[in-house]
Amino acid sequence: MMTFDEYEKHDGLGLADLVATGEVTAAELTETAIARIEEVNPRLNAVVHPMFDYARKAAARDDLRGPFAGVPFLLKDLLSELAGVPHSSGSRFYRDFRPEQNSELTNRYLAAGVVVAGKTNTPEFGLLPTTEPEVWGPTQNPWDPTRTAGGSSGGSAAAVASGMVPLASGGDGGGSIRIPCSCCGLFGLKPTRGRTPTGPKFAEDWHGFSVEHVLTRTVRDSAAMLDAICGHYPGDTHFQPRPDVPFCEEVTRSVGKLRIAWSGRPFVPATVHPEVLRGLEETVSLLADLGHEVTERAPVIDGALFAKSYLVVIGAHTWAAIGDGERAMGRKARRRDFESKTWLAHLMGGAFTAGEYVAAVRALQRIVRPVHELAEEVDVLLQPTVSQPPPRLGFLDKGGFAGLLERFAGHLAPKALLRADATLDQASAESFAFVPWTPIYNVTGQPSMSVPLCTSTDGLPMGMMFTGRLGDEATLLRLAGQVEEARPWWNKRPPL
């Protein structure tokens, strides 16, 4: 069996090259990945559904093809369904659910040649920026087990950062690829809306805010997988054509001199940690040294109204998701089936009318227009990914809105309370304090990436977020390739 020291020296494409040249077999890679999962997962709780027998059978096939043929891989336990395999979405209600068919994106991952070895932890329905579901327990950050790995793709992030696999799947409806990549020191690209498929179960998810891709150690792995999975699926609401130049080739192409607008001012009211601002300043200096034109500039938006409107939309989709769950599981949903935050989001979603939902969507579209306008005037926007280094586990469970949840989540809270401005103000203030930037780009649909360029004084990763114009992942990937070469990160390892 390949040793772990040998295994971790390679990214996904590097391992695939070893398989292609016969230096190692897919079966050997799979056994190494399984051994690594068995060694470190008890400490991290990143993988909640091991699929070792499935992986061994897949690795033994002689028809593995694609850019990642034979490479160990993990699927996030949300959206990316695999027929016959448990798919809980981080929820007690779905704990025993097994889908009857693959999602289209899962089919494309498999067509890329990966060997799926398990499903990764996620908060219930992907609602939170930390991965601490009651049904499976919290995922610990490999850099410091007292800290969050981020969310909602926190299980995938912890698995990749700890060397279980070189890449794993994730979804991003409010930062859920970028946030855990920032917390765990990984590269994470949220593609343009419509770049990857959502079918066949959904034509879009979260009103088009959500898009799926992967979390990786290297830029080229992310680009190569995007080449493999991008493209329209019949019936999907949004569509981006395949690029003329493969994304993987863009990583090594010259990016030229970019106009980059940067800012540390949060879109949504929040306090930004001084270490994050220091990291932003370091990043601006790096970009200037690389020859780019960097200017402090940011669009002005109504962040408070954005936060409230966003919560109305997500609450409505939570209400609909629980209804979908009732039909899938063949029974009525009860309060005790769900976490208090999820149940209250469900109640809030049912408290608003269809007209108010449309009004919230229109408000979001109007609020983010200045972001689109600035993106047309420059090449790239730069902000921190999150407002602070990875906080301690449980940071969302203290007082305030959590207290409101405890008082009312077990009962049918009065609609007047659920709809009250004070309730929405409190909920939005606490929901966005850690993530005052990422959700904006889910609403705009722009490609956005977290790049692991900075470290706090106590050694914790901090990502910087770069956002491009709609459909322009190419510029982001060229820039990411340049900064990865200038300040390499992919061989840095947490102190496990």
Residue 134 in tokens:
């009651």
Tell me how far apart the alpha carbons of residues 379 and 234 are, in angstroms, rounded to a whole number.
32
Question: What's the pLDDT score for residue 410?
Answer: 47
Provide the whole-model pTM.
0.96
Tell me how far apart the alpha carbons of residues 343 and 346 are, in angstroms, rounded to a whole number.
5
Catalytic residue among 88, 89, 169, 176: 176
Q: Is 309 noted as a catalytic residue in this protein? A: no
Question: What's the pLDDT score for residue 328?
Answer: 92
Query: Tens place of pLDDT for every residue, the chain, 496 residues?
Result: 799 999 999 999 999 999 999 999 999 999 999 999 999 999 999 999 999 999 999 999 999 999 999 999 999 999 999 999 999 999 999 999 999 999 999 999 999 999 999 999 999 999 999 999 999 999 999 999 999 999 999 999 999 999 999 999 999 999 999 999 999 999 999 999 999 999 999 999 999 999 999 999 999 999 999 999 999 999 999 999 999 999 999 999 999 999 999 999 999 999 999 999 999 999 999 999 999 999 999 999 999 999 999 999 999 999 999 999 999 999 999 999 999 889 989 988 999 999 999 999 999 999 999 999 999 999 999 999 999 999 999 999 855 544 554 455 445 555 655 555 666 666 667 779 999 999 999 999 999 999 999 999 999 999 999 999 999 999 999 999 999 999 999 889 999 8
Question: What's the pLDDT score for residue 496?
Answer: 82
Catalytic residue among 89, 91, 103, 152: 152
Tell me how far apart the alpha carbons of residues 350 and 319 are, in angstroms, rounded to a whole number.
6
Residue-level length of the chain: 496
Question: What's the pLDDT score for residue 421?
Answer: 60
Question: What's the pLDDT score for residue 491?
Answer: 84
* Crossing angle between the packed helical segments 303-329 and 354-367, to the nearest 10 degrees: 130
Q: Which residue has the tokens 């629980």?
A: 322
Tell me how far apart the alpha carbons of residues 400 and 454 are, in angstroms, rounded to a whole number.
31
One-letter amino acid for residue 56 of the chain = R
Q: What secondary structure, in 3-state letters, does the chain show? A: CCCHHHHCCCCHHHHHHHHHCCCCCHHHHHHHHHHHHHHHHHHHCCEEEECHHHHHHHHCCCCCCCCCCCCEEEEECCCCCCCCCCCCCCCCCCCCCCCCCCCHHHHHHHHCCCEEEEEECCCHHHCCCCCCCCCCCCCEECCEEEEECCCCCHHHHHHHHCCCCCEEEEEECCCCCHHHHHHHCCEEEECCCCCCCCCCCCCCCHHHCCEEEEEECCHHHHHHHHHHHCCCCCCCCCCCCCCCCCHHHHCCCCCCCCEEEECCCCCCCCCCCHHHHHHHHHHHHHHHHCCCEEEECCCCCCHHHHHHHHHHHHHHHHHHHHHHHHHHHCCCCCHHHCCHHHHHHHHHHHHCCHHHHHHHHHHHHHHCHHHHHHHHHCCEEEEECCCCCCCECCCCCCCHHHHHHHHHCCCCCCHHHHHCHHHHHHHHHHHHCCCCCHHHHHHHCCCEEEEEEEECCCCCEEEEEEECCCCCHHHHHHHHHHHHHHCCCCCCCCCC
Tell me how far apart the alpha carbons of residues 120 and 111 are, in angstroms, rounded to a whole number.
20
Q: Which residue has the tokens 């976490």?
A: 339
Q: Which residue has the tokens 């109204």?
A: 305
| Strands 144-148 vs 140-141: parallel, antiparallel or unpaired | antiparallel
CB 214 within 8 A of CB 168: yes
Question: What's the pLDDT score for residue 344?
Answer: 87
Q: How many CB atoms lie within 10 A of CB 473?
A: 29
CB 24 within 8 A of CB 105: no
190 bridge partner residues? 448
Tell me how far apart the alpha carbons of residues 438 and 175 are, in angstroms, rounded to a whole number.
5
Q: How many CB atoms lie within 10 A of CB 79?
A: 23
Q: How many CB atoms lie within 10 A of CB 104?
A: 22
Tell me how far apart the alpha carbons of residues 36 and 192 are, in angstroms, rounded to a whole number.
33
The full set of domains in the chain, from first to last, is 4-258+469-486 (3.90.1300.10), 303-367+396-432 (no CATH)
Phi, psi dihedral angles at 458 (to 5 degrees): -100, 20
Question: What's the pLDDT score for residue 427?
Answer: 67
Tell me how far apart the alpha carbons of residues 118 and 256 are, in angstroms, rounded to a whole number.
41
Q: Is 456 noted as a catalytic residue in this protein? A: no
Q: Is 76 noted as a catalytic residue in this protein? A: yes
